[in-house]
């Protein structure tokens, strides 16, 4: 873990600020975050992207990090760089983190957009054999679809995830939420998006299922859907009863 400054790019503009939370082993250079940043800049909208500690250009060792430490990274960057209300856009694990951040900062978080959000994946995303390997060896290596390097999960990360489950009780968030989920996602079951939508306390929750969408949801049509969902959240935030 590190308290050193995190790599980030902040575009000033109109409030609320859109803050992007990447997925596991992802960084702030992905196609979705860059497309969303360009869209926000064209509209004069404040936008912030950053790398968690141990990821991308931020300092720290990846295997020293946990779900909780990355949550704290997000809180720290929001607390120190962003003024006013925030709309969180969370991709995969970032969708879990956005829920934890919303719970921790209820007065700051105005709306949520989840992209293949993966809350509680330490509970449902590992087989019994993989959990035994984690317990016995302290780490798990799995083939990655996103590069030659294996996907590494450490026991401290898994334990941190189990200590920060959010789907076991109503999630205390009342703002607008848009959840985008591909039905051909090999990593996150599409039914999880429905469960998450039901678990959120807010009544303003919309779940969009993309029949041909995979986990990345990074095709041009997927990105257009993301931009529409974000614009919808911003519009909801300007209604008299929101934000």
| Distant-in-sequence contacts of 191-198, Cβ < 8 A, 24+ apart | 192/117, 192/118, 192/119, 192/124, 193/114, 193/117, 195/167, 196/114, 196/117, 196/119, 196/167, 196/171
- For the question of residue 10 being annotated catalytic, the response is no
Task: Exactly one of 72, 73, 185, 222 is catalytic; name it.
Answer: 185
Q: Which two tokens stand for residue 110?
A: 């105005």
Residues contacting 95, CB < 8 A, separation 6+ = 21, 114, 115, 116, 117, 118, 119
Q: Rounded to an integer, what distance in angstroms lies between the CA atom of residue 243 and that of residue 52?
A: 27
Task: Exactly one of 58, 69, 92, 160 is catalytic; name it.
Answer: 92
Phi and psi (nearest 5°) for 141? -110, 130
* Residue owning tokens 């993989």: 130
- For the question of residue 215 being annotated catalytic, the response is yes
Provide the 3-class DSSP secondary structure of residue 179. strand
Task: Exactly one of 120, 160, 215, 222 is catalytic; name it.
Answer: 215
Q: Are 178 and 234 in contact (CB under 8 A)?
A: no
Active site residues: 92, 185, 215
């Amino acid at each position: 873990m590190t308290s050193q400054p995190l790599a980030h790019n902040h575009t000033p503009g109109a409030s609320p600020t859109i803050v992007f939370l990447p997925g596991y082993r992802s960084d702030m250079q992905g196609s979705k975050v860059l497309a969303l940043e360009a869209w926000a800049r064209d509209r004069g909208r404040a936008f912030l992207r950053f790398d968690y500690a141990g990821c991308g250009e931020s300092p720290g060792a990846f295997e020293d990090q946990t779900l909780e430490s990355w949550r704290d990274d997000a809180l720290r960057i929001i607390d120190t760089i962003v003024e006013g209300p925030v709309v969180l856009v969370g991709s995969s694990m970032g969708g879990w983190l956005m829920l934890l951040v919303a719970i921790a900062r209820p007065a700051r978080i105005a709306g949520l957009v989840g992209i293949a959000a993966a809350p509680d994946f330490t509970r449902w995303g590992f087989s019994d054999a993989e959990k035994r390997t984690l317990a016995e060896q302290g780490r798990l290596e799995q083939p990655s679809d996103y590069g030659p390097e294996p996907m590494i999960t450490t026991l401290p990360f898994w334990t941190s995830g189990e200590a920060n489950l959010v789907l076991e009780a109503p999630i205390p968030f009342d703002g607008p939420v848009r959840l985008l989920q591909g039905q051909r996602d090999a990593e996150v079951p599409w039914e999880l998006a429905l469960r998450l939508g039901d678990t959120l306390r807010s009544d303003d929750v919309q779940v969009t299922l993309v029949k041909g969408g995979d986990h990345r949801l990074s095709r041009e049509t997927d990105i257009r859907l993301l931009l529409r969902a974000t614009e919808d959240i911003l519009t909801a935030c300007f209604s008299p009863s929101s934000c």
